[in-house]
Structure 1
Amino acid sequence: MLPVAALHVDVSYAGCPPGVTVDVSAFLLNEHGKVASDQDFIFFNQLTRHDQGVELDLQKSRFTLQLDKTTQKLQKIALVLTISQVAKKNQHFGLLGSITVLVKDFLTGLELACFSLNTHGFNEAALIMAEIYRHQQQWKFRALGQGFIGGLQPLAEYYGVDVGEGEAATDEAAKITPVNLSKITLEKKGQSISLEKQGDGLGEVIVNLNWNSTPIKVLGNTKTGASIDLDLACLWEFNDGSIGAVQALGGHFGALHHFPFIELDQDDRSGQSLMGETLRINGQHWPMLKRVLIFTFIYDGVPNWSHVDAVITIKAKMQPDIEVRLDSHRNDQFMCAIAMLENINQQLRITKLVDYFSGHQAMDKAYGWGLNYVSGTKS
């Protein structure tokens, strides 16, 4: 029996080789072992179900559960791991060393339950690791380690999730958009992808930055950490030659529905926000834009890119998520140009950069922007 309702559930794995991407997900199940709706599927495209007290932090592979918020219809939470691009890369959990699920008291951090699984010899690409289930008005933890043939899609369909290509139903009385399980990772510097042009345009383009704010280094037998304030920002250029920047530094947060039609949602100085920092681009005005340079810089803290685990995720309507990780590092530089968004024949082309610079001026010069810079602070 779980003695508290507020929990952290951490999922970790050892021995993951390069090129293998492991996704953490959860299914909120009714008495029949099925989801009541597609909103009960928590994964990389749908991180929260606030009315049921469930949140997923992708960077930490951590679920935050507030079981006292759940409705009586929710009887079970299945915690699963899947490997991306199963058919393309023929990967499986036998490539990993072991997987651990750790349940902790949210307030005290006290360990309540732990399950470790040796995955050597596993041919499956999906695992139902554990369940948190309701029994006689109490919540309990059950370790499973059950392999499942296929990846995330067949597992989602097994639990009753409507998986499709993202096209909405035509019935006005019940428009349903099937869950889009697509995710594309730009793995190599210079790699590009163009988003398909939709009939009504791009809609809103969302660029999210998430990172580990307290990276840990091991020095001898001592663990030390220093908080890092990482800022998301962009340089923009319109077809008419107008140029500028959107960033918290200097208070240039932009505007979504007014020029420059790009807006920064917040300045997460602690790095503790589940959603990190997000830039929003008004896709209705994309034809006016020429290019947008997405970058990040360390406003406070020493350069420690190799431990910060930063990643941007770019989302657009009815498109697969595009993921760019800062997977090469220059710990002597404070700024990283992550990706270039370009208007190519009215389509959006995204190119991975991951180039490091000493500051704004050096980056501006490298990409030929032409802005003048002065020292600035954040209010």
Structure 2
Amino acid sequence: MGISLQKGQKIDLTKGNPGLTKIIVGLGWDTNKYSGGSDFDLDASVFLLDKNGRAGGIEDFIYYNNLVGGNGAVTHTGDNLTGAGDGDDEQIIVDLAQIPAHVEKLAFTVTIHEAVQRSQNFGQVSNSFVRVVNETNGQEVLRYDLGEDFSVETALVVCELYRHQGEWKFNAVGSGFSGGLAALCGNYGLQVD
């Protein structure tokens, strides 16, 4: 079992784990009792950001319609439409050694597909977590359980990986957004339709 983090904690990822270059970022969640007639379709995505916290273009946004980015360094393993089952609901594989030099930060996010139309929000989601696993040996390096402090938000910035003095660090963010994917993209300098 890896290190368990609280909201706002930052921890070294690579310095204390020599040789850690390929990781799996697993995100998971459950839904509370909900009778709205629609499945919850939560979508994990990652934004590749420069030193100003901005994505250079749509190619720096990895999600279910753009599964690979960062010159192949970041791979989304695919969309889970219902979140059913135990363990990770969606995974993103990251080769830290291959992240392009201009990318200073990776922001991992989760949004609710068609949240407004389905009258859904993160107040109806529970047991949300993110974990980092060493892809080489399958060992969990760290885990961040988000807790239940969301209500009307339809998008979350779950965590960030960022460069610091030649090493990678992990930041447990857990910050909610209203306005869904469009607001999140706008926050990172991307315009969506």
Q: Which TM class, normalised by the smaller chain length?
A: 0.7 to 0.9
- Verify: 1:15 aligned to 2:31, yes or no: yes
Indicate the SS of the match to 2:40. Answer: coil
For structure 2, which runs of at least 5 residues remain unmatched after alignment?
Answer: 1-11, 81-88
Using the alignment, how far apart are the partners of 2:187 and 2:157 within structure 1?
12
**TM-score, L = length of structure 2:** 0.80
Deviates more, 1:70-79 or 1:47-56: 47-56
Q: Give, as a single letter, the amino acid of the residue that structure 1 aligns with 2:26.
A: D
Using the alignment, how far apart are the partners of 1:92 and 1:111 within structure 2?
29
- Verify: 1:96 aligned to 2:112, yes or no: no
Deviation at 1:32, TM superposition (A): 0.3
2:160–2:171 CA contact under 8 A, matched in 1: yes
- Verify: 1:57 aligned to 2:77, yes or no: yes
Q: Which has the larger radius of gyration?
A: 1
Among 86, 97, 100, the residue aligned to 2:115:
86
In 2 relative to 1, CA 19–105 (structure 1 residues): closer, same or farther, beyond 3 Å? Answer: same
2:160–2:170 CA contact under 8 A, matched in 1: yes
**What residue number does 1:319 align with?**
none
Using the alignment, how far apart are the partners of 1:38 and 1:61 within structure 2?
20
- Verify: 1:163 aligned to 2:192, yes or no: yes
**What residue number does 1:30 align with?**
50
Deviation at 1:147, TM superposition (A): 0.6
Q: Percent identity?
A: 30
Using the alignment, how far apart are the partners of 2:150 and 2:187 within structure 1?
24
| CA RMSD in angstroms, aligned pairs only | 1.5
**TM-score, L = length of structure 1:** 0.42
Among 166, 170, 183, the residue aligned to 1:137:
166
For structure 1, which runs of at least 5 residues remain unmatched after alignment?
Answer: 165-379
1:113–1:141 CA contact under 8 A, matched in 2: no
Indicate the SS of the match to 2:184. Answer: helix
Among 178, 182, 192, the residue aligned to 1:153:
182
Number of residue pairs the alignment of both structures matches: 164
**What residue number does 1:244 align with?**
none
**What residue number does 1:210 align with?**
none
- Verify: 1:43 aligned to 2:63, yes or no: yes
Using the alignment, how far apart are the partners of 2:70 and 2:178 within structure 1?
31
Deviation at 1:161, TM superposition (A): 1.6
In 2 relative to 1, CA 23–31 (structure 1 residues): closer, same or farther, beyond 3 Å? Answer: same
**What residue number does 1:169 align with?**
none
Using the alignment, how far apart are the partners of 1:121 and 1:102 within structure 2?
19
Among 111, 114, 118, the residue aligned to 2:143:
114
Using the alignment, how far apart are the partners of 1:90 and 1:120 within structure 2?
18
